[in-house]
Structure 1
Amino acid sequence: MTPESQEITTKERLLEAGLGMLLKHGYSDLGIQALLSETGIPKGSFYHHFSSKQDFALQVVDRYMQEVHQGLDMSLGNHALPPLERVRLFFELSREKYRREGYLGCLLGGLGQELSGVSETFRHKIEGCFNLIAERITDCLEEAHQRGELAADQEPRQLADLLLDCWEGAALRSRLRRDPGPLGAMLDFYFAVAAR
């Protein structure tokens, strides 16, 4: 193994562990020492890859977004399905991911709630991530609109933003209850209303 691949492996291990810890504990309760104990990685290696706890958390968000984009590619890119079914599939895949993680919800929503009032850096970062997701969903909803699957007066970008807003609220309720019920109810309601 080359030193470069070792560095990538170490960084990836830190990001992967950090993703789970941030999801479970949030930013304020994320201790660098706890992360190092979890991974068995020395402190110097952490600071070789990340300049600070904030830098680390921002890179964890980037790592999380890689997973989000994979889910979007898998669902929105499945042209065997009609566009509204592809959009719903993305959220159903997300619900399944939440189930595997114990219904801890969305990292973006959790960090957004925790940090948007105290950190402009995180507020801009997370809003930017939500905008990227909304843009991709909008493209699919545009296709549904063109096919007449949405009412003529419905604006795809507004529908995409509303869908994300509703999902994040349902994800919070799901986390509070440790129960998928709010996620499924929200999807059923949204797609019943959105579809023509």
Structure 2
Amino acid sequence: MTTTRERLIEAGLRLLLEHGYNDLGIQALLKETGVPKGSFYHHFRSKEEFALQVIDRYMEEVHLGLDASLGDPTLTPLNRARRFFELSREKYRQDGYMGCMLGGLGQELSGVNETFAARIETCFGEVTSRIASCLEEARRQGELPRDSEPLELANLLLNCWEGAALRSRLLRDPAPLDRMLDFTFSAATRAS
């Protein structure tokens, strides 16, 4: 049975993605979940604490995607890294091309709320670190040039992906995501 806290967080995943932080009304969340206001404040001290816990849940899903793709022994390391982004693209499709919740919240809040800026940057750091490990393996196996910098490449991949996710959201179309993947992975494998 789903707990009240879990119902609120699950609804928060969708509502924060669709509306962002500033337009997320607690009343709308309570109405959607059928949870009384007192129950919300029993589980969360504030809207900020709630949103930070939603981010934590979102990252659980991101790590599952990283595990599924980067841990796939049937793929080469470079294809495992690309697979993570392909799985993310599929999730974006299911969500109506709303993009990455971290990217959206980062754009909305990073200049005005240091708590969110730090949390989101930590989350991006976790993703790039895991991708960089996979890219290091790709470099060792000769899929990438020997002078490649896996961490730099992982950061570049994530930065380009977040920009493509924004364009995909604006257009409600996966084409920017597809073009980014094709271009970046093709460029990464070229000898320098």
Q: Same fold (TM over 0.5)?
A: yes
After the TM superposition, list the runs of 4 or more consecutive aligned residues in structure 1 that deviate by more than 4 angstroms: none
Per-residue Cα deviation, 1:147-172 (whole angstroms, up to 9, x for no partner): 01111221000000000000000000
Displacement of 1:23 after TM fit? 0.2
Q: 1:22 aligns with which of 16, 33, 54?
A: 16
Q: What residue number does 1:64 align with?
A: 58
How far apart are the structure 2 equivalents of 1:160 and 1:193? 13
How far apart are the structure 1 equivalents of 2:86 and 2:48? 31
Q: What residue number does 2:29 align with?
A: 35
TM-score of the aligned structures, taking structure 1 as reference length: 0.95
- 1:72-151 residue pairs with structure 2 within 5 A? 72-151=66-145
TM-score of the aligned structures, taking structure 2 as reference length: 0.97
Displacement of 1:195 after TM fit? 1.4
Per-residue Cα deviation, 1:97-131 (whole angstroms, up to 9, x for no partner): 00010000000000000000000000000000000
How far apart are the structure 1 equivalents of 2:146 and 2:136? 11
Letter in 1 for 2:143: E
Q: 2:157 aligns with which of 135, 158, 163?
A: 163
Q: What residue number does 1:183 align with?
A: 177
Letter in 1 for 2:104: G
- Stretches of structure 1 that go unaligned for 5 or more consecutive residues are 1-5
Identity %: 69
Q: 1:13 aligns with which of 7, 16, 22?
A: 7
Displacement of 1:80 after TM fit? 1.4
Displacement of 1:193 after TM fit? 0.5
Per-residue Cα deviation, 1:29-60 (whole angstroms, up to 9, x for no partner): 00000000000011111111100000000000
How far apart are the structure 2 equivalents of 1:189 and 1:16? 35
Q: What residue number does 1:3 align with?
A: none
* Secondary structure of the corresponding residue to residue 97 of structure 1: helix
How many residue pairs align between the two structures?
Answer: 190
Question: Cα RMSD over matched residues?
Answer: 0.8
How far apart are the structure 1 equivalents of 2:3 and 2:78? 38
